[in-house]
Amino acid sequence: MFHPGGGSLTASSPLNPSSYDAVVIGGGFFGCRIALYLKEHLNKVLILEKEADVLQRASYANQARVHNGYHYPRSILTALRSRVNFPRFVSEYRECIDSSFDKYYAIGKITSKVTANQFKTFCQRIDAFIEPAPIDIKKLFNNNLIEDVFYTKEYAFDAVKLKHRMLNDIETAGVKLRLNSKVIKLEDADNLAIKIFVESPDNQDIITAKYVFNCTYSSINHILDRSNLPTIPLKHELTEMALVEVPDPIRHLGITLMCGPFFSIMPFPARGLHTLSHVRYTPHCFWKDEDADVKTVNPKSGHKTNYPYMIKDAERYIPILSKCQYVDSIWEVKTVLPQSEVDDSRPILFKKHHGLKNSICVLGGKIDNIYDVPPELKFMELTGGVI
C-alpha cells in the first residue's frame, strides 16, 4: 500500500510496476486526443481517468459551442485561432456536429464593450461570415436594449457522440485506457522515468512512464500539490449551465448577446435541450490556487440554481424567453489563466518539464484549442521520432 502524504510502500506493492512510454492523466477530450497524437510516435500509451467513463467532466458540462471567432472581439489572436480551427474541427468530427440551427449575435445598447459597427468590422477582419439578421428575427428582441442583431455561422457539438467517437479512436489506435483510476501523485524514478501512484477501487499501484501529461483541467494543481511540485497560477469558477426547453420560435436558434454582462442560449445536442448561461450568474463562486491551499470543489454536489436570475435578465432582451421551461442544470469547475480575464482570451497552457523532467501540464480553454497542441509537441524528442 502507499499513502498520498508520504508515498511509503509496503510489501504488498508491485515489485515490477507497469511501464509505458507515455501516460496521459485525464480522459477528457484533450487527454484522449493527446494520447492519440502520442500513439503515432510511441509504442505504449496509457490514459488514466478517475471517472467511470471518458469525456464526463468539462468536456461534457459546457455550452457545447464550436467557436468560430465571434466570441472574442477583445482578443484578435484567440478569434483568429478559432477561425482556423473551426472548419478543421467540423470536418474531422462531422458526425458529432449539430449545424441544424441558425446562430445570431446581438449587441446590447447599454454596458456592451463593443458597438454594432465595431463587431461588424471585427468579423470582417477575421473573415467570419456575418449578415444582418432578418426582420422576423429582429422582432424577437427588445429594440430599446439591443443595438443590432447579426446572422452568423457557428455550431454545437454533441458530447455523447464525441465520447463514442473518442472511445472508438482510442481502441483502434491501440491506446490503453484505465477508468476509475485516480492519480495520487508523481515522483522521480531511478531510471529517468516518472512514477505514477494510482488509486483504484480495488487496489493501489505504481506505473512508470518516460512522459507524463497532466491533462486534468481543474485538477492540474491538485496532482502537482500532492506531488510537492510547483503549482500553476490558475483561476477556477464553479459554474452552472441551465438546461431549458425553449419556445417554438427559437427552437432552431442559438443566440449570444454581447459583449459584456450578458447571456447565451445555445442548443445542447446531447440532451436535446438548450443551455442558458449568463456572464453574471453562471459563475457561483471563484478562487485562485495561489490565494489559499489547493482546494477541491465538487460540482456534482447539490447547489442552488441561479436560473431565476438568468432568465429574468435574459427575457428583458428577448421577451419570448419568458416561456422557457427549466429542466435541469449541469455544474462544473471552469478553469482559466488569470491573465485571460483582461481580454477574454483563451490561449493554451503547455508547460514542459514542470517540476519533473518529461512531466507536461496541458490546459485548453475551448475544445478546438486541440489543434494548437501539435506545434508544442513537435519539438519534444520522443522515441521513434518527433510530432
Long-range own/partner contacts, residues 58-61 (CB < 8 A, 24 or more apart): 58/28, 58/217, 58/218, 58/332, 58/333, 58/334, 58/335, 59/28, 59/29, 59/30, 59/159, 59/162, 59/163, 59/367, 60/159, 60/160, 60/163, 60/270, 60/330, 61/241, 61/299, 61/330, 61/331, 61/332
| pLDDT recorded at residue 155 | 98
What is the C-alpha R_g of the chain? 22
| pLDDT recorded at residue 288 | 86
Distance of CA 69 to the CA centre of its chain: 16
Q: Does domain 78-157+235-336 fall into CATH 3.40.50.2300? A: no
| pLDDT recorded at residue 3 | 37
pLDDT tens digits for range 237-251: 999 999 999 999 999
Helix, strand, coil in percent for the chain, rounding step 5: 25, 30, 40
| pLDDT recorded at residue 302 | 79
| pLDDT recorded at residue 74 | 84
Per-residue pLDDT of the chain (387 residues; tens, 9 = 90+): 333 333 333 223 343 469 999 999 999 999 999 999 999 999 999 999 999 999 999 999 999 999 999 999 988 988 999 999 999 999 999 999 999 999 999 999 999 999 999 999 999 999 999 999 999 999 999 999 999 999 999 999 999 999 999 999 999 999 999 999 999 999 998 777 999 999 999 889 999 999 999 999 999 999 999 999 999 999 999 999 999 999 999 999 999 999 989 999 999 999 999 999 999 999 999 888 877 565 667 787 778 999 999 999 999 999 999 999 999 999 999 998 877 665 555 678 999 999 999 999 999 888 988 998 888 887 666 644 444
Interior angle at CA 90, CA 331 and CA 73, nearest 5: 70
What residues contact residue 342 under an 8 Å CB cut-off, 6+ apart?
A: none
First to last CA, the chain: 37
- The model's pTM is 0.91
The span from the CA of 122 to the CA of 243, in Å, is 31
| pLDDT recorded at residue 387 | 42
| pLDDT recorded at residue 299 | 80
Q: Does domain 18-57+160-231+347-377 fall into CATH 3.50.50.60? A: yes
CB 27 within 8 A of CB 179: yes
Instruction: Locate the domains of the chain by residue range.
Output: 18-57+160-231+347-377, 78-157+235-336
